[in-house]
Amino acid sequence: MDCLPTNLDLRRPLVIADLIDDQNYLIIPEEELQLQVDTLNVIENRVPLESFPPERQIIIQNYYRFSGTRMNSNQPRIAKRTRDTFDII
């Protein structure tokens, strides 16, 4: 049996249904869910940033840049921001 190399960058893009679960206590508007999906797709190399219109690229970059990076579920608080968050995009 031959082992075929797999390219992890060829994963299918995420959709809103992939983010919806029963853990959300607040209703997240569909527009923000789409922005989260677009940002995740870019960060995980599922979709190139250049595939979006220039205005949307700026929105995606700023959403990632100003969103929290981690949170401790035992003590909910605002996540820390780091200076290098924009480096991924």
Q: What is the pLDDT of residues 10-55, one digit of tens each?
A: 678 989 888 777 776 778 888 998 999 999 999 888 999 999 999 9
- Kindly state whether residue 55 falls inside one of the protein's structural domains: yes
User: Is the pLDDT score of 69 beyond 70?
Assistant: no
- Kindly state whether residue 22 falls inside one of the protein's structural domains: no
- Write the CB contacts of 89 (distance below 8 Å, at least 6 apart in sequence): 42, 43, 49, 60, 61, 64, 65
How far apart CA 86 and CA 61 sit, in angstroms, is 7
DSSP 1-45: -PPPP--GGGPPPP-HHHH--TT-SSPPPHHHHHHHHHHHHHHTT
Q: Give the pLDDT band of residue 76 (cuts 50, 70, 90).
A: low
- How far is the CA of 65 from the CAs of 51, 58, 62, in angstroms? 19, 10, 5
- Kindly state whether residue 86 falls inside one of the protein's structural domains: yes
62 three-state secondary structure:
helix
> What is the domain range of residue 86?
27-68+79-89
Which pLDDT score is estimated for 83? 61
Structurally, the chain folds into a number of domains equal to: 1
